[in-house]
Amino acid sequence: MTVEEKWGSMGGDEDQGDQFPIGMRVLAVDDDPTCLKVLENLLLRCQYHVTTTNQAIKALNMLRENKDKFDLVISDVHMPDMDGFKLLELVGLEMDLPVIMLSANGNKDAVMMGISHGACDYLLKPVRIEELRNIWQHVVRRRKFDHKERCSFDNGEDHDKPLAANSEGTQTIGDNGPLDHSGKVNRKRKDQNEEDEDYCDENTHESEDPSSQKKPRVVWSVELHRKFVAAVNQLGIDKAVPKRILDLMNVEKLTRENVASHLQKYRLYLKRLSAVASQQANMAAALGGRDTSYLHMGTFNGFGNFHGLSTSGPLQGFTAFQPSGISRRTNPNLLGLPGLAPGTVQIGLTQNTTNNHMSDLSKFQHIVAPSNQHENLLQGIPTSLELDQLQQNQKRIQEANNRLPGVFSGASNNSFISAANSSMILQGHQQQTELRGLISQSSIAMPSIGADRLEMSSGVTSHLPDLSRCNETWQSAPSLSGYNANTLSMGSSYGNDNMASSNMGGNLASAVPQFNGNPLNITSNNLLTTAQDSLMGRDMQCRTSSLSGNTLLMPSGIDVDPKFLNFKSSANLKQKLEDPTQLNALESNITLSSSLTSTLPNQTLLNTVADSQRLHSRTYSKKVDGNTISPPCFDTSFMSVYTKMNKSNIDSRLTFNEENMLGSSKMQGGFASSNCNFDELMNAMIKPERDDVIFVDGEIGSDLFPLSTCM
């Protein structure tokens, strides 16, 4: 493996003006040593800077280490440790780098696969040097296009518009309100934006030349994405064309191109979700889980950067949470367990594992698939990949977790986050800026855990208060249906007494019951499942029942350790409720937990849920110790909600939501209670003692998604 030093700045096309493509930094990945060597030399001959590796995992790590280290990735399709297409997707989504596929197989189908996964190009082996001489075009093209989007929007189409209005160069289209929020949300983009801003600022003066105009990158805020998804839903995913979406969205300064590219990513995301769902199904089967669907929670960074939940096949995918009643708040922590089937919820993985900003709740990007879709949209999120990532992420999460309030045991993050990260795919969709806005709330739909064991892995920060936010966010998002394919790897501190403080409950609480067919993100982002145990080994999979459109993160079936309920309720839910921007509300979660009432009510709920969702109530009952759980303000309404939910009665849930979640004030009380409930449920569902808490995917019809994390 030859590692060559990378040149100075990031790609620095500006610097390399006339020199480019000389020195372009290429990362070559191929398991075949012969091909790799030849490729390397060919690239060197083209005067590129070449780094080679024969393992996709290593490649990913390298890329994640420093996103600006490479300009282009060339990868073989056929690799033993990871499918080339998966790598392709991940790179495209996480790092937004152009990827060229390489293969000896020139079948139309294979090429098609490459294209649909987002490859810039598809080369056949043996590669000829002539072909390699031209690959720099992909880098340039991408840069140009990105710049166009990034720079001031004004400059985009109408070159004569002064940049004054957008002096920063980066504009949030449409919804200028939460700029801060967006800023927070789009932390990853910020750096890039800053660079672009500078560039743009320079360019503003060159307004004469249209072609050199750099448009500001469109920041897909929550609002924006919401509108987008709403528009797509309205049109129907098949008929959604950029032009019409644009019209429906009715957002100024948004161009058709922006919509088109966003749509493309969105589609990819949906496909991945469905693929993952089927994969998960297999996995579930393999694991011998009792439940049909495993919910794999994407990694949660800190507060759960919830990276795409891949739901198992049977899960129908869940619709996005759309707590209609809940006030809107953009909660960056949006844990949405993507339900595959109808309205798959795509959890926008906010940040890659690399960006584990624990405190950055905005990481949760939840992409909600149109509820119209009743198919597994999750595409094959490689389980293995996920697990790998889980591992990787866990580490990260751990680090990140340090920042988390004590409530959440750092461990949780890891497991969960890693899990989440595994759903990079989902994550990828986010490109960080994209869905960030949309699903700020981490809504984790915890499928009713039908299985005996609920493995809550990964600390999902459940900001229960975020429910309100969730609602908002989710409005546009189609309901999250079951997390079938999502393996909820809730990094729950299983079997650990620490669980108590783990945010399990909280996180799970984020299960937003979806009422009225709209999955509610209960605890948008508030799912803090501190995965204390190394979730690595566990396939924490939460099976999400395919809640038809209801994503209820109900740690049903989770043996919640009462300890969990002992969230340190730091921040009040109130605060959280009212302050959507405080996604880092681990505290909020904690608050929730504290507000959790006795386990009993939870149990009841859980039981009900379990029943309906094939929850093994016994697990639940056993698990809940009830000690740490402070008497939860168990709202009757909440109870009813659950019951309703169990009945897959979305409406009732919605009601519940509305009752409990509407309004911050209301939320506090009601929410708190509901949160508590959730938390408790979650806790109850989490079996601290056991690592193998599996979120069983109860067949919650449209009810709660069972959280089944398979360890």
- Residues forming contacts to other proteins in the complex (CB under 8 A) are 31-35, 37-39, 41-42, 45, 76, 78, 103-105, 125-129
Contact 85, 117 (CB under 8 A): yes
Q: What phi and psi, each to the nearest 5 degrees, are found at residue 119? A: -70, 145
> Which amino acid, one-letter code, is at 332?
P
State the DSSP string of 122-173: EEESSPPHHHHHTTHHHHHHHHHHHHHHHS-HHHHH-TTS-GGGGTTS-EES
Nearer to other proteins, 75 or 344 (CB): 75
Give least dist CB 22 to other proteins, A.
16
Helix axes 410-422, 383-401, angle to 10 degrees: 150
Give least dist CB 577 to other proteins, A.
53
Q: How far is CA 474 from the centre of its chain?
A: 14
- Opening angle at CA 599, ends 594 and 605, nearest 5: 115
Give least dist CB 91 to other proteins, A.
21
Q: How far is CA 113 from the centre of its chain?
A: 23
User: Tell me, what DSSP letter sits at residue 457?
Assistant: B
Size (the chain), residues:
711
Nearer to other proteins, 30 or 699 (CB): 30
Strands (E), 256-344: 295-296, 310-311, 318-319
CA dist., res. 272 & res. 376, Å (int): 9
Give least dist CB 39 to other proteins, A.
8
Helix (H, G, I), strand (E, B) or coil at 44: helix
Nearer to other proteins, 83 or 659 (CB): 83
Q: What phi and psi, each to the nearest 5 degrees, are found at residue 541? A: -125, 125
Nearer to other proteins, 49 or 161 (CB): 49
CA dist., res. 579 & res. 482, Å (int): 28
Furthest-apart CA atoms within the chain: distance in Å: 72
Give least dist CB 126 to other proteins, A.
4
Sequence-ordered list of residues with C-beta below 8 angstroms from that of 659, at least 6 positions apart, any chain: 325, 637, 666, 670
Give least dist CB 210 to other proteins, A.
41
Nearer to other proteins, 78 or 144 (CB): 78
Give least dist CB 287 to other proteins, A.
22
Give least dist CB 87 to other proteins, A.
17
> Which amino acid, one-letter code, is at 568?
K
CA dist., res. 502 & res. 491, Å (int): 9
Nearer to other proteins, 46 or 547 (CB): 46
Nearer to other proteins, 43 or 477 (CB): 43
Give least dist CB 103 to other proteins, A.
8
Contact 308, 426 (CB under 8 A): yes
Give least dist CB 168 to other proteins, A.
47
Give least dist CB 376 to other proteins, A.
23
Nearer to other proteins, 37 or 647 (CB): 37
- Residue from 283, 567, 328 nearest 440 by CA: 328
- Opening angle at CA 143, ends 433 and 425, nearest 5: 40
Q: Are strands 25-29 and 72-76 parallel, antiparallel or unpaired?
A: parallel
**Helices in 479-572 by DSSP H: which ranges?**
504-509, 562-565
CB neighbours of residue 165 within 10 Å: 12
Give least dist CB 539 to other proteins, A.
24
- Residue from 228, 177, 657, 222 nearest 473 by CA: 222
Nearer to other proteins, 35 or 281 (CB): 35
Give least dist CB 31 to other proteins, A.
8
CA dist., res. 505 & res. 330, Å (int): 21
Nearer to other proteins, 37 or 267 (CB): 37
Nearer to other proteins, 123 or 411 (CB): 123
- Residue from 488, 485, 322 nearest 419 by CA: 488
Give least dist CB 385 to other proteins, A.
18
Nearer to other proteins, 17 or 80 (CB): 80
Nearer to other proteins, 103 or 525 (CB): 103
Give least dist CB 37 to other proteins, A.
6
Nearer to other proteins, 30 or 360 (CB): 30
CA dist., res. 559 & res. 695, Å (int): 9
Q: Are strands 72-76 and 49-53 parallel, antiparallel or unpaired?
A: unpaired
User: Cα dihedral angle (52, 55, 57, 58), rounded to 10 degrees?
Assistant: -40
Nearer to other proteins, 127 or 407 (CB): 127
In this structure, what token pair is assigned to residue 570?
């730091």
Give least dist CB 129 to other proteins, A.
6
Q: Please measure the distance between the N-terminal and C-terminal CA atoms of the chain and give it in whole angstroms.
A: 35
Element (H, E) at 73: strand 72-76
Nearer to other proteins, 32 or 168 (CB): 32
